[in-house]
Amino acid sequence: MEQEKTIEEQIKEELKEEERRIRELEERVSKLEQIARVSNQRLVELQKDYELLKERYRRDIEEFRKYGYEKFALDILEVLDNLERALEAKTEDVNALRSGVEMIHRQLLSVLEKYGIRAMELENMEFDPMLAEAVERELSLDSPPNTVIRTLRKGYYLHDRVLRPARVVVSYAEEELT
């Protein structure tokens, strides 16, 4: 009988131990469920923030494309104002008028340079098809073959990229005639 009691007590203790472990596991499951809820909620918030950020970025890009040249436009308008004043000038003095137009030309070049636009200097350089279009060829005894001898239309860089290629006249040698 005593042995039965011991077995019964042993089973009761094991049952209590199992119940304690079950409670511990239930608590852990409850904590993990809470963590999962918080994590899922945070994920939803982050996705919402991401979508809002994407939309804002799209609007910023659109606005930049629309208004990004505002400073450049204002600087060009200053040049236009000076050009209009020169055209309105009531002067018979051609030299004064020419001097005014030269000043406006320098002002325009300064504005262009401020924004990274600069003219190409290609004359007396070897012809480079990446920088210029050869629209004419001309016999030249003074220049080596394939040299730019005249610029018909200036080319321009925008920073380090060709904005507009030049149109040039390229030399050739007498031997190329045959």
Nearest to 132 by CA among 109, 176, 162, 112: 162
User: What 3-state class would DSSP assign to 166?
Assistant: strand
pLDDT at 141: 86
- Residue 116 zone, left/alpha/beta (φ > 0; ψ -120 to 50; rest): left
Terminal C-alpha separation, the chain: 130
Length of the chain: 178
Q: For the beta carbon of residue 137, count every other beta carbon within 10 angstroms.
A: 15
What pLDDT is attached to residue 177?
A: 53
Going across the sheet that includes 148-153, the strands are: 132-139, 166-172, 148-153
CA proximity to 166, closest of 117, 105, 111, 119: 119
- Joined tokens for residue 85: 């004043």
- Which single residue is written with the structure tokens 């002002």? 107
The rounded distance, in Å, linking the Cα atoms of 143 and 127 is: 12
This prediction's pTM:
0.67
The answer to whether 155 and 139 are in contact (CB under 8 A) is: no
Per-residue pLDDT of the chain (178 residues; tens, 9 = 90+): 666 678 888 888 999 999 999 999 999 999 999 999 999 999 999 999 999 999 999 999 999 999 989 999 999 999 999 999 988 888 888 898 899 899 999 999 999 999 999 999 999 999 999 999 999 999 988 899 999 999 999 999 999 999 999 999 999 987 655 5
So what's the pLDDT on residue 8?
84
Give CA–CA dist 107/113, Å, rounded: 10
Q: What is the model's pLDDT at position 72?
A: 93
What are the residue ranges of helices labelled H in the chain? 2-67, 70-88, 94-114
Let me know: does 167 contact 151? Beta carbons within 8 Å: yes
